[in-house]
Amino acid sequence: MIKRRRGTHRLKGISPVVSSLLVAGIVIAAGSILYTWWYLYTSKWTADLTSMVTEEGVASSQHLVVLCANKTGTNTLKILVAAGMTQVQVESIYINDTLVQSFTPSTIPPLKAVELYVTSSTSLGNVAVIRIVYEGGVIVGKFSIA
């Protein structure tokens, strides 16, 4: 009978120190990838948010709000408007898609409410669509003026 020698073809495994270092390297690499992704994701989100806030700030500084509109005569309207953080130059006013010829451009001071009296060339019903064109854009509102 042939005797086998033990230990000549013995397989050797990875030592515990090497396996610990290998696992630590994998964890550090995964953490670095995750941190880089998170940083880039939040940087883009922060930039988008900053852009939106800046655009909103510019829009609100030029903002014009129509507070109410009332009929004061047969074809005459009193429109109460307020400006935002800066003064607003009102260029023209349309009532029911008709340009108000009697309106002269006016400036609304910042953070103030101003009454604008306009006379429409067409007869007014119980509802009026008012479009005000100003230097920052256009505002449209539908008001019950009965």
Q: Do the beta carbons of residue 87 and residue 107 sit within 8 Å?
A: yes
Could you read off the pLDDT tens digit of each residue along the chain, which spans 146 residues?
A: 666 666 555 667 778 888 999 999 999 999 999 999 988 888 777 777 676 666 555 555 557 888 888 888 888 889 999 888 888 899 999 998 889 988 888 898 988 889 999 988 888 888 889 999 988 788 888 888 86
CATH for 68: 2.60.40
Residues 56 and 126 both lie in one domain: no
Residues 135 and 91 both lie in one domain: yes
Strand partners, 21: none
Residues 100 and 120 both lie in one domain: yes
Q: Do the beta carbons of residue 114 and residue 84 sit within 8 Å?
A: no
The total of structural domains in the chain comes to 2
pLDDT of residue 35: 94
pLDDT of residue 22: 93
Residues 52 and 76 both lie in one domain: no
Q: At which of 28, 61, 94 does a domain end? A: 61
- How many angstroms separate the CA atoms of 58 and 63, rounded? 9
Q: At which of 61, 90, 115 does a domain end? A: 61
Q: Do the beta carbons of residue 117 and residue 77 sit within 8 Å?
A: yes
Strand partners, 116: 79
